[in-house]
Amino acid sequence: MGDQLSKDISSLKGCNKSKDTILICEVWSEATYVKHHKKKIVFIFSAMRHFAKELNESGYKVSYTKIEDKHNSGFFKSEIARALKQQKYDQIVVTHPGEYRLEKDIKSWETEFKISVEIRADDRFLCSPEDFAIWAKDRKQLRMEYFYREMRKKYNVLMEGNQPIGGQWNYDLKNRKPPQKNLLIPEPYHNELDSITRDVMSLVAEHFPEHFGDIEPFYFGVTRHQALEALNLFVSQRLPNFGDYQDAMIEGEPWMYHSHISFYLNCGLLLPLECVKAVEKAYQNGKAPLNAVEGFIRQIIGWREYVRGVYWLKMPEYAKQNFFEAKRDLPELYWTAETEMNCLRQCILDTKKNAYAHHIQRLMVLGNFALIAGLDTSQVNEWFLIVYADAYEWVELPNVSGMILFADGGYLASKPYAAGGSYINKMSDYCKNCSYKVSKKQGKDACPFNYLYWDFLARNRHKLELNHRISMMYKIYERMDEDKKQAIAYDSKHFLKAIYD
Ligand code: FAD
Ligand code: DLZ
Ligand code: SF4
């Protein structure tokens, strides 16, 4: 599958190159079950085609279905049926997929085709769903920090015996520098287009014209070699500043000091432990400070594995959760970027152009707005699954439903990441080019994040006031005079109506 592009994927282990066939298919169903960003489709198809070529060159027999092939039947299942008609096979071997809907599909193959189907664990991840379930057992709420510490010990990363290097497990408090003027931010990785990628770009333009997003410029790596180049570039150029500016946002600087490797990791061109080791080595060689290195490693062996654990533990119920009963339709502005709110506009424009936005843009602007405006949980999830080149349900859903929308009522995160305009103003330069005034709390030109934040708290008081990480805010709300409370409700109501005009 398109996110299994690793030569040491479990389904290839023990493969008999002279007898076995590797089936890889571009199928209409995968490309359209949500209307993925055009750049995401280009990336995946091009990476799949390059991967198939490399397998061929290493002596594997590959049967590859292109999206435009006349006989392409459009689904994994019907492509398998077609392959089974063409030749007799003894068995299907497949690595466990990244999405629940496909696990269900694969589980039906054995009965459907009357052939043995072996589903192998995806051992590219560092914590199996079974091990995660053992860790999570009997815990009512999970906390990433404790899981992360176990992973540090298990993989002996940044450890001095049994203790964390530097004496602390987590240096997050150091990783919150606001953006500075005149930061030198290196150019992101740029790959030269070859004929495979160019062909894919034309066919995506032709076949998926109504999908969101820009195809050009296309600069992602599409082979393992290129993904490793991108990783090395990150380690040598960006990593030293990764920690300090991890939460900072600057207009026109979508890449900041982040690594931009999630799309490679998630489709299999990079493996998590090799990224962790490369970054740990930079620390050992004195090339990057501990706050940067620890912060980065925590994202990979902590958050990435943690959200996957939650996904497989809690599906399929997890996708239906909607703690706040949020039902407001996703406004068109999430597609058009037509809004006077500069922070949202910039983050959506970055997303449209690059199929990428960094974590704080996703969390504190796009996600935060969806949370405090009460946008429909399923529609918000669908948007996030569509627009990012790194989005697969196992990682998108827990981040969106769990981390940002608090739709699981606090199973994954201890409190909703709701914030007013002052957070965005502190961590970005967006507010200076905005039609709204971040310093204003009420009235037509007040920053909508300011009143929506309080309105969100007031609307959901019965669900949140017992949360000790948020109860302080209710005390502040209580002390507001009645006029102010009414102004918050009035401004919110009018604003939330106007975004659909
Ligand atoms: P960096 O900031 O350089 O981080 C390094 C790596 O750590 C990433 O490549 C990624 O593999 C991992 N990582 C960091 N944070 C997380 C996290 N919260 N969950 C899982 N892995 C993490 N990440 C995805 O890979 N796919 C998604 O669909 C996705 N959707 C998100 C939606 C929301 C609302 C939020 C708040 C976060 C989402 N993330 C998602 C997590 C994170 O934003 C991206 O992994 C990150 O922005 C990718 O850019 P990067 O490679 O430059 O990451
Ligand atoms: C995202 C994607 C797209 C757009 N197209 C394909 C495809 O045609 N064939 C394929 O094998 N995989 C594709 N993918 C990735 C799959 O959707 C991904 O493998 C599943 O969601 C499981 O995580
Ligand atoms: Fe965003 Fe408010 Fe700042 Fe405008 S003023 S950029 S809406 S936070």
Atom 17, ligand 2: residue with shortest CA distance: 30
Q: Which ligand is nearest to the CA of 422?
A: 3
Question: What is the DSSP secondary structure assignment for residue 168, as one 8-state letter?
Answer: -
Which amino acid makes up residue 95? Answer: T
Please give the Cα distance from 19 to 310 (Å, whole number): 38
Q: Which ligand is nearest to the CA of 102?
A: 2
H-run or E-run covering 307: helix 305-314
Ligand 1 nearest atom to the CA of residue 258, by list position: 3
Q: Find out whether the beta carbon of 400 lies less than 6 Å from any atom of ligand 1.
A: yes
Atom 6, ligand 3: residue with shortest CA distance: 431
SS3 of residue 23 by DSSP: strand
For the 10-120 domain, the top CATH level (class) is alpha beta
Distance 262 CA to ligand 1 centre (A): 6
Ligand 2 nearest atom to the CA of residue 98, by list position: 23
Q: Find out whether the beta carbon of 363 lies less than 6 Å from any atom of ligand 1.
A: yes
Atom 1, ligand 3: residue with shortest CA distance: 343
List pLDDT tens digits, range 76-118. 999 999 999 999 999 999 999 999 999 999 999 999 999 999 9
Q: What's this model's pTM, rounded to 2 decimal places?
A: 0.98
Please give the Cα distance from 193 to 367 (Å, whole number): 33
Ligand 3 nearest atom to the CA of residue 435, by list position: 4
Nearest CA-CA partner of 407 in 382, 381, 369? 381
* CATH (residue range 129-190+219-318): 1.25.40.80
Omega of the bond leading into 272 within 30 degrees of 0 (cis): no
Mean pLDDT (the chain) is 97
CA angle at residue 277 from 240 to 248, to 5 degrees? 30
H-run or E-run covering 462: helix 461-464
Q: Find out whether the beta carbon of 306 lies less than 6 Å from any atom of ligand 1.
A: no
Q: Where are the domains of the chain?
A: 10-120, 129-190+219-318, 333-498
List pLDDT tens digits, range 457-491. 999 999 999 899 999 999 999 999 999 999 999 99
Atom 3, ligand 2: residue with shortest CA distance: 31
Ligand 3 nearest atom to the CA of residue 430, by list position: 6
Please give the Cα distance from 479 to 471 (Å, whole number): 13
499 touches 331 (CB < 8 A): yes
Q: Which ligand is nearest to the CA of 227?
A: 1
Ligand 3, CB within 6 Å, residue ranges: 341-343, 421, 424-425, 430-431, 434, 436, 438, 447-449
Task: Choose one of 11, 35, 44 to mutate for the ligand 2 pocket test, by most ligand atoms within 8 angstroms of C-beta.
Answer: 44
Ligand 2 nearest atom to the CA of residue 394, by list position: 23
Please give the Cα distance from 73 to 202 (Å, whole number): 21
Distance 2 CA to ligand 2 centre (A): 4
Walk along the chain (501 residues) and give the pLDDT tens digit of each residue.
Answer: 999 999 999 999 999 999 999 999 999 999 999 999 999 999 999 999 999 999 999 999 999 999 999 999 999 999 999 999 999 999 999 999 999 999 999 999 999 999 999 999 999 999 999 999 999 998 888 999 999 999 999 999 999 999 999 999 999 888 889 998 889 999 999 999 999 999 999 999 999 999 999 999 999 999 999 999 999 999 999 999 999 999 999 999 999 999 999 999 999 999 999 999 999 999 999 999 999 999 999 999 999 999 999 999 999 999 999 999 999 999 999 999 999 999 999 999 999 999 999 999 999 999 999 999 999 999 999 999 999 999 999 999 999 999 999 999 999 999 999 999 999 999 999 999 999 999 999 999 999 999 999 999 999 999 999 899 999 999 999 999 999 999 999 999 999 999 998
Q: Find out whether the beta carbon of 41 lies less than 6 Å from any atom of ligand 2.
A: yes
* CATH (residue range 333-498): 1.10.579.10
Q: Find out whether the beta carbon of 30 lies less than 6 Å from any atom of ligand 2.
A: yes
Please give the Cα distance from 483 to 151 (Å, whole number): 51
